[in-house]
Structure 1
Amino acid sequence: MADNLLLPKQNNDALIPDTVNYIEPSHTYDVDFRTDSQIRGYADKLRAMEQAIYKIINTERYQYIIYSWNYGIELQDLFGQPIPYVYAELQRRIEEALLNDDRITKVYNFDFSHEGGDVMVEFDVDTIYGTLQKIKKGVKGIV
């Protein structure tokens, strides 16, 4: 019996800790990607999501060791492929890349166009903070 004094008492309720779902805050630096990529204060909620989407769809997946393998989008293997294949794959890959972020709930309304070898896509994104419409992504030199 003396050996049992050093062991903790077992209480089945104590073995299962209470868990709380936690969503990362969206407060971040506001980088102006449209003009000169300078930091212009802070961004939060919908503006921060717009910035996160821009970064995700402009980062080649697996290329930078600073990012996890779940971050970014794979585009390099689309070069030289037929346009219909590129459209289908680009939609799937954008959805996959963005839905890895738990703040993004839906990616939809894809609209594709191409001119020469460049492919352009516009789409809408629903986030927990609201909807971002007509997000644009261009991929140059596909064909």
Structure 2
Amino acid sequence: MIPQNDYEDLTADFEEVAQPSRTYKLDLERKRIVGFTDGREAIEQAIYKALSTERYDHLIYTWNYGAEIGKLFGQTIPFVYSEIKRLITEALTHDDRIESVDAFSFSHVKQKVHVQFIAHTIVGAIEIQKEVDI
């Protein structure tokens, strides 16, 4: 006997709720955790951590977390400029709080590429600067 279901009675009796972004606050100068942070500061910290973590190198993180910036080491400046935009965008847009990344500008001094960009988040635009060794 096959059970019969009346699909008209199936309604969602739950509501999706966004989780707060409250997390431990990193004190990068003293290399300590000091309390908690939330909101804009938590998103800035998440951006810093995602761009500072090499993707696929740490078992504790999923394969979606981090950036593959290490593969740019030893590459030519034009290649780095073209790839770093894609790598940063890919690393950051996995976070639900970051809607888009744009307004990239690049410069380089010797073996360091300086990149500036704007991350559009749920709390507004955040200007980010990152230095990459090549």
TM-score normalized by the length of structure 1: 0.84
Q: Which of 103, 113, 124 lines up with 1:119 in the alignment?
A: 113
1:55 aligns with 2:40: no
Q: Deviations over 1:35-90 (max 9, x none)?
A: 12222221111000000000000000011011111100002221111101101100
Equivalent position amino acid for 1:10 in 2: N
Cα distance between partner residues in 1 of 2:62 and 2:15: 24
Q: Output the amino acid matched with 1:39.
A: I
Return the alpha-carbon distance in structure 2 between the equivalents of residues 104 and 18 of structure 1.
Answer: 29
- TM-score with structure 2 length normalisation? 0.89
Greater C-alpha Rg = 1
Identity of aligned residues (%): 46
Alpha-carbon shift at residue 105 of structure 1 (Å): 0.7
- Among 103, 108, 130, the alignment partner of 1:137 is 130
4+ residue segments displaced more than 3 Å: 13-22
Match for 1:43: what amino acid?
Answer: T
Flag the structure with more relative contact order, 1 or 2, with Cα contacts below 8 A and sequence separation at least 6: 1
Q: What are the ranges of 5 or more consecutive residues in structure 2 without an aligned counterpart?
A: none
2:55 is paired with a residue of what secondary structure?
coil
